[in-house]
Chains A and B, each alone.
Chain A
């Protein structure tokens, strides 16, 4: 009887140790999966870049483009559109709504932007292309979206986009649309101009910002 109990006790200790080891291993798996959750973000970006999943466009330089052949047998229509997101009091539109080009050919268009506010404001344009599959083939050599744009009160600016649609574009594609969403990069400023969401993180009742209204 005593032996049996002793055995039982020893067996229990062995078990406890085994349980601890297993629990630690499982905790490690948990941590790894937490890391994996985070890793999904760069993985997704990499996949999007490769496959154009979310219409994020590529970037290239003039030399690479110059080395590419122009496919004169095909014509593709490229449309341009833009939206100044609420919170950025700017007028924003393409000066050319659409053009036709041959794949491989470098073209330039201009967007017009005007600051309607009475103070300096900085914005960031985010490009997106549809159909999404064309995004890897839509390459920008120069773009106002590469950097932030700061406009003085009332300033008007014509901003260029120089781009190429490479010849690897799927044969079925006839129309590509390039769209820009222009965001106010400063959250408080965006709030002041009625931006309701994207630039709104620190929104709390405590910081009182009854800013003078624009022009006030």
Chain B
């Protein structure tokens, strides 16, 4: 049966253009996201190079601003989100015992929007007047000042948004409708759970961003005054709408990674996940809370006292379910029988790194203290710890974990560990000193700085080059494993548990042609 299907699908370029297969599309997403990661990474090196020493040496301030803006947009919308949609495509059907995604044709569309959107975004840099230079938060009135490059960017954001909404609808439909008989919701693997919740976050948050972006476009070109004080609008309204999307967006980036940690830690602890139900509830509470904390990004705009207090309290509350998750992971490890293969290293490193970002997040929640932290390098350090810690560590953990399943080959374990340790050293060297820079008073998004910030900026720049160069190891490992290597067993890892490990390595083109029965 599976051999028949194999014969049907086309080969060559048209296989990839017209594919409706969840694995092919998953691969496309992952390849695309890594291309974007290289683009965004190069931009970060431009930023860090300019900041190597005080003074303007490499780039003009305006180009510097374009780099910080586009780096963020590329990394968030081009790298982190598509990478996890790719993982979802690959793994969710295999984990819940489905033959494919629920809506295969839509799956194809949602991917193929991305390259066009990304091209548009990158092209904006080459337009007269340059690309967007107002930060990824595109606050008006500053974002109203830019030229046609800003319109390119806004359109690109629309397209990226549509892509991820289509992807989310597909994931929800797959998880809700395609589960194997016997797999109740509360028996689902955590990765499927966190993605289900993430997908709901996406369809609730992304359209709000689309609304904000649309209003920005009409303000720029069609004479509306949503955010224009001259016409009775309010620039702060944009910030409210933006962060109503923007805060859930953070959880969109990290929740799937939490799911990955929850898959990997039990495997390598050889012990079931501790507190499965509380993990599900904690994830859902985080998702819910993410919609009522947005204005903690805007403590300094001059909100009334009641607002400042409400958002401070609600933000602090997020620490509770997040803490529950970390405690559960630690308890899963407790009295397990642990080994530390590369995926486990990335998962533990991810939990650790994310926790650092979580704690600085709690500090940022405290309104009076935030008046000092707001818009400084402390914030830059914080969100890199959160997003690098959860999203990128989670992504690498997932790739090393499932790569033998995908390719049928074991990767080079020693090199994998080198990749982990070098990245970890480089990352911390880059971002830990930025906490101090922020506390000492260095604002973010500046191309030049006062002399007392020189030393830590040097560390940070060295760390950035170190981190990015270390990623070459990963590309080498991944390509080697795709081409060949020792054969992987079906279960791959001794402690691995779940439907995906019952399939062959590599798995058949259509995952479960006959649905498995789950006890």
**Are A and B in contact, CB atoms below 8 Å, in the complex?**
yes
A residues near B (Cβ < 8 Å) are 8, 15, 18-20, 22-23, 26-27, 29-38, 40-41, 44-45, 48, 51-56, 85, 124, 126, 130, 132-133, 181, 183-185, 196-205
Chain B: residues with Cβ within 8 Å of the partner, total of: 56
Chain A nearest CB from B346 CB (Å) reads: 32
Q: Taking CB as reference atom, which chain B residue is nearest A85?
A: B230
Q: Is the CB of A31 within 8 A of B145?
A: no
**28 interchain pairs (CB within 8 A)?**
A18-B177, A19-B102, A19-B178, A22-B102, A22-B172, A26-B169, A30-B169, A30-B207, A32-B207, A33-B205, A34-B210, A36-B208, A37-B207, A38-B211, A40-B208, A40-B240, A40-B241, A53-B307, A54-B236, A124-B231, A132-B304, A133-B304, A183-B230, A197-B141, A198-B230, A201-B144, A201-B219, A204-B147
In the complex the two chains form, is A200's CB within 8 Å of B144's CB? yes
Q: In the bound complex, do residue B207 and residue A31 qualify as a contact, i.e. CB atoms below 8 Å apart?
A: yes
**Closest residue of B by beta carbon distance from A132:** B304
Residues in B295-338 with C-beta less than 8 Å from chain A: 302-307
Q: Is the CB of A197 within 8 A of B229?
A: no
How far is B304's CA from A49's CA once the two chains are assembled, in angstroms? Answer: 13
B141 partner, pick from A23, A130, A198, beta carbons under 8 A: A198
**CB–CB A33/B207 < 8 A:** yes
A19 and B207 within 8 A (CB):
no
Q: Are A22 and B240 in contact (CB under 8 A)?
A: no
Q: A37-B211, A52-B304, A198-B228 are in contact. Are A44 and B234 (CB under 8 A)?
A: yes
A-B pairs with lowest CB-CB distance, top 10? A37-B211, A183-B230, A33-B207, A34-B207, A37-B208, A19-B102, A26-B169, A197-B141, A19-B173, A22-B173
User: Which listed residue (A34, A85, A197, A201) contacts B142, Cβ 8 A?
Assistant: A197
User: Is B148's beta carbon under 8 Å from chain A?
Assistant: yes
Q: Is the CB of B204 within 8 A of A33?
A: yes
Question: In the complex, are the beta carbons of A53 and B230 less than 8 A apart?
Answer: no
* A residues in contact with B169, CB < 8 Å: 23, 26-27, 30
Tell me if A19 and B144 are in contact (CB < 8 A): no
B145 and A36 within 8 A (CB):
no
A37 with B228: CB separation less than 8 A: no
Let me know if B42 is at the binding interface, CB within 8 A.
no
Complex: A151 Cα to B137 Cα, angstroms:
38
Q: Does B232 contact A (CB under 8 A)?
A: yes
**B178 x A15 contact (CB < 8 A):** yes
Contacts A41-B226, A54-B302 known; 20 new A-B pairs at CB < 8 A: A15-B102, A22-B177, A26-B172, A26-B203, A29-B204, A32-B207, A33-B207, A37-B208, A37-B212, A38-B214, A40-B237, A44-B240, A53-B304, A124-B231, A130-B302, A132-B302, A183-B229, A197-B141, A198-B230, A199-B230
CB distance from A103 to the nearest CB of B (A): 20
A117 CA / B16 CA spacing, docked (Å): 63
Question: Contact: A36 with B221, CB < 8 Å?
Answer: no
The complex places the Cα of A72 from the Cα of B241 at a distance, in Å, of 43
